């Protein structure tokens, strides 16, 4: 199964942002126990890329074959190469950067840049993106995904931003091939309190929507 197929089969990418290695491990263990199999570890633009890369590397070793680990908020070539060296399976960005898309594909990784307008979505796909992340999706809702899918039905679209238990099925029904969910699964309060059972339960609630 290709990375693309695994992402589509997984359906929900859990976005893990700003956690240390120990908390990231416990979070991924929790989402896996809840039935989710995709985790995006995001880069911090104010920190050295190797900090995030080390977490990706650790998670890859521990969860190989169980959770597919990707890198998020990839905005520089240095971050991209750090993610590649750490074993990230897919590269996600909040923006549309042709050089990042092309280098991602040269390295043999799945590319998921962020875009919003039809022009941006089409340009990302022309540059080689496998999936285009419509971000932020909550500002326009599922209807916007459906509208984009009209003329751009050949382009796989991911909905990211504001996806919750009430609207997740609406986004899939509108044509999203997958969704990205952050704090609605990885509750900052739950992490701070060490309540990874809550994260597992949230993951299970979302997995039940697939």
**Token digits of residue 72:** 């998020």
Tell me if residue 188 is catalytic.
no
> pLDDT under 50 in the chain at which residues?
none
Asked whether the whole model's pTM tops 0.95, one would answer yes
* Nearest residue to 19 via CA among 207, 206, 198, 183: 183
Tell me if residue 146 is catalytic.
no
**Token digits of residue 210:** 């697939």
Instruction: Check if the beta carbon of residue 94 is closer than 8 Å to that of residue 64.
Output: no
**Token digits of residue 54:** 């080390």
User: Which residue has tokens 């911090």?
Assistant: 44
Give dist(CA 85, CA 76) in Å, integer.
14
Which pLDDT belongs to residue 149?
Answer: 98
Domains of the chain by residue range: 3-207
CB atoms within 10 A of CB 65: 6
DSSP tag of 186: S
Which pLDDT belongs to residue 140?
Answer: 87
* 134-192 confidence digits (pLDDT tens): 999 998 899 999 999 999 999 999 999 999 999 999 999 999 999 999 999 999 999 99
Which pLDDT belongs to residue 86?
Answer: 99
Which residue of the set 26, 29, 78, 133 is catalytic? 133
Which pLDDT belongs to residue 9?
Answer: 99
200 prior amide bond cis, ω within 30: no
Which residue of the set 6, 26, 29, 40 is catalytic? 40
3-207 CATH pick, 3.20.20.70, 3.30.70.270, 2.60.40.420, 3.40.50.720: 3.20.20.70
């Amino acid at each position: 199964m290709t990375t693309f197929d695994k992402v589509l089969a997984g359906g929900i990418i859990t976005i893990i942002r700003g956690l240390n290695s120990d908390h990231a491990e416990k979070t991924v263990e929790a989402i896996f126990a809840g039935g989710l199999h995709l985790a995006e570890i995001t880069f911090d633009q104010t920190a050295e890329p190797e900090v995030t890369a080390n977490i990706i590397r650790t998670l890859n070793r521990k969860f190989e074959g169980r959770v597919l680990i990707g890198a998020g908020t990839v905005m520089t070539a240095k971050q991209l190469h750090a993610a590649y060296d750490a074993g990230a399976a897919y590269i996600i960005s909040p923006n549309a950067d042709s050089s990042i898309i092309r280098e991602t594909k040269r390295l043999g990784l799945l590319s998921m840049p962020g875009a919003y307008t039809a022009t941006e979505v089409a340009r990302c796909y022309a540059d080689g993106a496998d999936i285009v992340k419509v971000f932020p999706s909550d500002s326009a809702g599922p209807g916007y995904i459906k509208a984009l899918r009209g003329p751009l039905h050949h382009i796989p679209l991911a909905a990211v931003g504001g996806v919750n238990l009430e609207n997740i099925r609406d986004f899939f029904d509108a044509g999203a091939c997958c969704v990205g969910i952050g704090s609605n699964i990885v509750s900052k309060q739950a992490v701070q309190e060490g309540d990874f059972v809550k994260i597992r339960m949230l993951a299970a609630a979302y997995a039940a929507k697939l």
